[in-house]
């Protein structure tokens, strides 16, 4: 079973997931900076165990729903698409 978290200090939504014998911590971050720019990124980290991942996440953030994580992914892909399209148009790729 996947567990979802949000860290206010990291500004990241997390998904802790066990796949077979391996545990992964997926994350996505989408936010506007104080200077008016924005940051969007996502990644995956390996974690020693589901128990350790849950313990770390409980210290870093608060539990949230899968819908919250999916919304963060939608926001990420919407911005990524705009940036990609602008890059292609600028450099005529």
CB 26 within 8 A of CB 15: yes
Name the residue with higher pLDDT: 36 or 77: 77
Parse the chain into domains and list their residue ranges: 3-90
| pLDDT at residue number 32 | 87
pLDDT in tens, 45-62: 999 999 999 999 999 999
| pLDDT at residue number 33 | 87
Which residues touch 58 (CB under 8 Å, ≥6 apart)?
5
pTM recorded for the entire structure: 0.86
| pLDDT at residue number 37 | 85
CB 5 within 8 A of CB 55: no
């Amino acid at each position: 079973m996947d567990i979802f978290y949000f860290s206010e200090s990291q500004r990241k939504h997390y998904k802790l997931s066990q796949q077979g014998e391996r545990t992964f911590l997926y994350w996505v971050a989408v936010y506007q900076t104080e200077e008016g720019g924005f940051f969007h990124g996502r990644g995956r980290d390996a974690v020693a165990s589901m128990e350790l991942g849950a313990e770390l996440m409980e210290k870093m953030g608060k539990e949230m729903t899968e819908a919250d994580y999916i919304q963060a992914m939608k926001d990420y892909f919407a911005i990524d698409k705009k940036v990609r399209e602008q890059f292609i148009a600028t450099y005529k790729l």
